[in-house]
Amino acid sequence: MKFSERLKQLRHENNLTQSELADILGLKATAISNYESQRNEPSLEKLISLSKYFDVSCDYLLGITDSYLPIGGEILDKDIVEIFELYQDLSPEQIDYVKKFIKFLIYTQKNEDK
């Protein structure tokens, strides 16, 4: 996916107009339109601002990867990041329960395929 498409997708997912996103980034309203229509490309500074605002990597914005965030040298999507954040709030007993449940889900999935 191209940068222009990815930007438009993220903007729509966040229910933002081009003008609203431009205001957030300190740009003129036409700048976002120009990015999305491939007339202009953002500066490195604006690309980083976009990635921080949407909480995605620059590689994701540029269409180099379809994974949102790099973590510990690996690229993880937002679902995995969300699961990790939830996991951190669990007690040791709950973590053990979650591990057992995941193993159960994997077991049932493997047996459904047979």
What is the CATH code of the structural domain delimited by 3-71? Answer: 1.10.260.40
- Residue extents of the structural domains in the chain: 3-71, 77-112
Tens digits of residue pLDDT in 8-41: 999 998 999 999 999 999 999 899 999 999 999 9
Please give the model's pTM, rounded to 2 decimal places. Answer: 0.61
Q: DSSP states of 19-86 as a string?
A: HHHHHHHT--HHHHHHHHTTS----HHHHHHHHHHHT--HHHHHTS-S-SEEETTEEE-HHHHHHHHH
Residue 19: its pLDDT value, please?
A: 94
Q: How confident is the model at residue 75 (pLDDT cuts 50, 70, 90)?
A: low
What's at 53, amino acid-wise? Y
Confidence of residue 45 (pLDDT cuts 50, 70, 90): very high
Pairwise CA distance, residues 68 & 51, whole Å: 10
